[in-house]
Amino acid sequence: MNQTPVQTSGAVLCDPDGSLTRDLPLDREPVMLLATAVIALPTTGYTLPPQDCEQIARLLAGHARLVAEDVQALCAQLPRLSPLRPLTETVLGEARRRLSVNPRPTLASAQNRARVVRILYERLDRLQCLPPS
């Protein structure tokens, strides 16, 4: 018989200023799977419970803020006249605008945050592929 203890409960870390989690890598794969699944849900004829929608939206919003910080740091390293800078700044501005509104307990709110996560990761990937300047 396996003597490995099973974790039956967990603790939620509240770290709004990021001081405890700043150096931890983002867990991209499960968040992107969640974002893809939420975006794929039809907006009519299928409903998630409102509490689930709000929880998903909050999780995605928190993750999006962390990805936005990484994108902002890479954007700051771009040359001032880089053609990537205006688009990156536009993506960041739109993400900030969408994330400034509290999540609502609706599927549309969760899908909105999922799209923000997706676009921020697309921008992050684009910036990470650049050779060092």
Secondary structure letter of residue 6 according to DSSP? P
Please write the tens of the pLDDT for every residue from 76-126: 999 999 999 999 999 999 999 999 999 999 999 999 999 999 999 999 999
Q: Is residue 1 part of a domain?
A: no
Q: Is residue 122 part of a domain?
A: yes
pTM over 0.85: no
CA 101 → CA 69, 88, 95, 113, 120, distances in Å?
Answer: 18, 21, 11, 10, 17
Secondary structure letter of residue 14 according to DSSP? -
79: containing domain:
28-40+47-128
> What's the number of domains the chain is made of?
1
Q: Is residue 2 part of a domain?
A: no
Q: Is residue 76 part of a domain?
A: yes
Q: Is residue 21 part of a domain?
A: no
Secondary structure letter of residue 40 according to DSSP? H
Q: Is residue 71 part of a domain?
A: yes
Q: Is residue 6 part of a domain?
A: no
Please write the tens of the pLDDT for every residue from 27-68: 899 999 999 999 999 877 777 899 999 999 999 999 999 999
CB 119 within 8 A of CB 91: yes
SS3 80: coil
Q: Which two tokens stand for residue 69?
A: 């910080």
Q: Is 26 exposed, middle or buried (0-12, 13-18, 19+ CB in 10 A)?
A: middle
Q: Is residue 75 part of a domain?
A: yes
Residue 131: pLDDT band (50, 70, 90) is confident
Please write the tens of the pLDDT for every residue from 8-38: 444 445 555 655 556 666 789 999 999 999 9
